Amino acid sequence: MTKVDLKSFNNDWFDHGAGLIIRGLWYLFNAIYLNSYIFPFSGLKKFWLSLFGAKIGKGVVIKPKVNVKYPWKLTIGDYAWIGEEVWIDNLDEVIIGPNCCVSQGAMILTGNHDFTKSSFDLITKPIVLEEGSWVGARSTVCPGVKLGSHSILTVGSIATKNLDPYGIYQGNPAEKIKTRVISP
């Protein structure tokens, strides 16, 4: 068995997308305005996210205790809903389409590590939630996953691969259990 040398992590290539000062300022504003209960209003949160480079559509709702790693790597479409205690760990691009819902406590994770290397290299892949998709409460979307249009990842499930449009997925790893039918 090879011992992992924690001093040899090879993540020098990683582009944060902003300098140290901007990242530090964002950390402060994120803690005060997004990842707290002090300011429950979506308008102020959308203002700060946009100021730091996020693309935010109209009618977006952002609930309290949301944590966003890098707003300059975030796009949220019109009328999307981001629930309480959502963690968007966007080391890579995250696109949340219009009319999407990311429910309470969900995690959007764009990064992982290559456990096969002693250097434990960072791996990042973008995540896309297409129009009308829904990430259930306490669910996790893993790096590189795309939720197809109007798909559902049910409560507590983990998406490790793409979800088909209108598919309803459940479990760990999430498997398709049925097709979503939307009434007129």
User: 51-82: per-residue pLDDT in tens?
Assistant: 999 999 999 999 999 999 999 999 999 999 99
Residue 7 inside a domain? The answer is: no
In this structure, what token pair is assigned to residue 148?
């197809």
Domain region containing 31: 19-174
Q: Are 165 and 151 contacting, i.e. CB atoms less than 8 angstroms apart?
A: yes
Q: Are 125 and 144 contacting, i.e. CB atoms less than 8 angstroms apart?
A: yes
CATH of the domain at 142: 2.160.10.10
Q: Are 73 and 23 contacting, i.e. CB atoms less than 8 angstroms apart?
A: no
Domain total of the chain: 1
Residue 10 inside a domain? The answer is: no
Q: Convert the pLDDT of each residue in 29-46 to its tens digit.
A: 999 999 999 988 899 999
The model carries a pTM of 0.90
